[in-house]
Amino acid sequence: MVRAKAQTQKCCTTNEKLSLPDVAWAEDLAKLTWALAHPARVRIVRLLLSRTSCMCGEIVEEMPLAQSTVSQHLKILKQTGLVQGEVDGPRVCYCINKAAMAKLKKLIASL
Amino acid sequence: MVRAKAQTQKCCTTNEKLSLPDVAWAEDLAKLTWALAHPARVRIVRLLLSRTSCMCGEIVEEMPLAQSTVSQHLKILKQTGLVQGEVDGPRVCYCINKAAMAKLKKLIASL
DNA sequence: CAAGCGTATCGTAGATCGACGATATACAAT
DNA sequence: ATTGTATATCGTCGATCTACGATACGCTTG
C-alpha cells in the first residue's frame, strides 16, 4: 500500500515541509481509513458494533459474499487492528477492538 | 470500487438482515474513507486544511511525487467531493469542501 | 501570433484488490 | 479413527491503483 520509493525530487527543502511526524501520521490514518474503504468491511464493522461480538458464520450469513471472501475482509480488519478474533471451540468469535476504533475516531476528528 | 455483482446467494432472507439503507450508508462511508486511504491523499487534505486554500503547484512541491501523480490524487479527492478546485487564471486553487469533511466526520463519529 | 507556465490527461507497467471455488486445517461428536 | 462443521488459506482471474514520462490543453504575457 505504501511504496515510499525514494524520489529524485528533493523534499524538505524548507523547515515547513513534510515533517516526518506528519508523514507517519498520514500513514497511520491512511491505514485505518483503508480498512473501511470497502462497503463490505464497513458493514462488518457495523455488525460487530451492534452486537458486542459475533460468530464468523453469522457475518457470512449477513453478507452476499462467499465465505472465503468474507474471511479475507476479516483478515484485513484484523491486520489493521480494528477487529479482534478469538477462537471459541470450532468457531471464531469476532469483536471490535475499541482502542483501535477510538484511535480512528480521534484521528478523523482531529483532521 | 464497488462491483455490486449479483450473487447467487440469497440476501435479506429475514427482516433483520441487510436493510437497504444500511447498504447505502456503508457505501457512502466507504467512498469517503477510500478517498483518505492513501498517505499522499491524507497529506494533501491536511495541507489544504492548514491553509484554507492552496495552489496546485504548492501541493506538488510539498509532495515527493511527480506532478501527474499528484494531479491524479487530486482528481480522486475531487471525485469524492472532499476537495474543490477552482480555476484562477492559469492556476488552479484547491480547497477543502467543508460540507464533505463534516459528513465524513459525522459518519465516522456515529459508527 | 508565439512562447511559456501551470495543470490535466493519456498511455503504460507493475502491484494490489476483490471475487470465487477448491482445498487445508482445527476442533467436536459419533 | 471417522465424520462433520467452521474457518482460513491457496490459486487464479479480471479490475483497479499507483506511479511515471510524455503530451495536450488553457491562459497570460511578450
pLDDT tens digit sequence for B52-98: 778 999 999 999 999 999 999 999 999 999 999 998 888 999 999 99
Q: Looking at the predicted structure, is the pLDDT value of residue B40 above 70?
A: yes
Q: How far is the CA of A37 from the C1' of D24 (A)?
A: 33
Q: Taking all residues of chain A, what is their mean pLDDT, rounded to a whole number?
A: 83
Calculate Rg over the CA atoms of chain B: 17
Question: Closest residue by Cα to the C1' atom of nucleotide D26?
Answer: B90
Where residue B97 falls (left for φ over 0; alpha for ψ -120 to 50; beta otherwise) is beta
pTM of the model: 0.83
Identify which of B91, B81, B76 has the alpha carbon closest to the alpha carbon of residue B41. B76
User: What single letter denotes the amino acid at residue A35?
Assistant: A
Tell me the chain A residues in contact with residue B49 when contact means C-beta distances shorter than 8 Å. 111
Higher pLDDT residue, B19 or A14?
Answer: B19
Cα A95 from Cα B49, distance rounded (Å): 34
Burial class of residue B29, CB neighbours in 10 A (0-12, 13-18, 19+): buried
pLDDT tens-place string over residues A96-111? 999 999 999 999 999 9
- Residue B47: strand, helix, or coil: helix
Identify which of B86, B80, B85 has the alpha carbon closest to the alpha carbon of residue B104. B80
Q: What is the pLDDT of residue B8?
A: 26
Residues 20-79 of B with CB under 8 A from A: 22-23, 25-27, 29-30, 33-34, 36-43, 45-46, 49, 61-66
- DSSP class of residue B93? E
- Of all residues in chain A, the percent with pLDDT exceeding 90 is 69
Q: What is the pLDDT of residue B3?
A: 34
Lowest mean pLDDT, pick from A8-17, A23-32, B33-42: A8-17
Q: What is the pLDDT of residue A67?
A: 96
Most confident among A68-72, A85-89, B7-11, B87-91 (mean pLDDT):
A68-72
Cα A28 from Cα A103, distance rounded (Å): 10
Question: Closest residue by Cα to the C1' atom of nucleotide C18?
Answer: A69
Cα B57 from Cα B67, distance rounded (Å): 8
Q: How far is the CA of A1 from the C1' of C20 (A)?
A: 23
Q: Looking at the predicted structure, is the pLDDT value of residue A16 above 60?
A: no
Q: What is the pLDDT of residue A3?
A: 34
- DSSP class of residue B87? E
Q: Which residue of B has its CA nearest to A8?
A: B64
- Residue A60: strand, helix, or coil: helix
